[in-house]
Amino acid sequence: MDEYRGEMDLTDGNRASFVLTVAPDGKAVTECGFLKQPTAENIAEFEDGMRTILEDLLGQITRLERVGIAENPELARQQREAFLRGGSNN
């Protein structure tokens, strides 16, 4: 798996830091955090930027889905790893 780390300066001065993990089969997971509490506009701007990055890395995206942040970091890690492996973690 390839991992990319980066930061994205947003138009209102907020900043998003992210880690993008790409599996050999093209599946990708992005984890991010914001310097300040993000607004709806920050999230939309970040998603647009990530779409551009993903299309540069992987080509045209046919489906993009945002999944909410889990309250349980360990469960979120397990689900992310299962997704990237292409299996189920149940």
pLDDT in tens, 53-73: 988 888 887 676 666 655 677
Mean per-residue pLDDT of the chain? 83
Q: What local confidence, expressed as pLDDT, does residue 45 receive?
A: 95
Does residue 60 belong to any structural domain of this protein? yes
Q: What's the confidence (pLDDT) of residue 77?
A: 76
Residue 90: inside a domain:
no
Instruction: Say if 81 falls within a structural domain.
Output: yes
Q: Quote the pTM value.
A: 0.72
Which of the two residues, 75 and 2, has the higher pLDDT score? Answer: 2
Q: What is the pLDDT of residue 90?
A: 45
> Is residue 26 one of the residues assigned to a domain?
yes
Is pLDDT at 11 greater than 70 in this prediction?
A: yes
Domain that holds residue 33: 2-85
Contacts of 63 by beta carbon, 8 Å cutoff, 6+ apart: none
Number of domains in the chain: 1
Contact 49, 20 (CB under 8 A): no
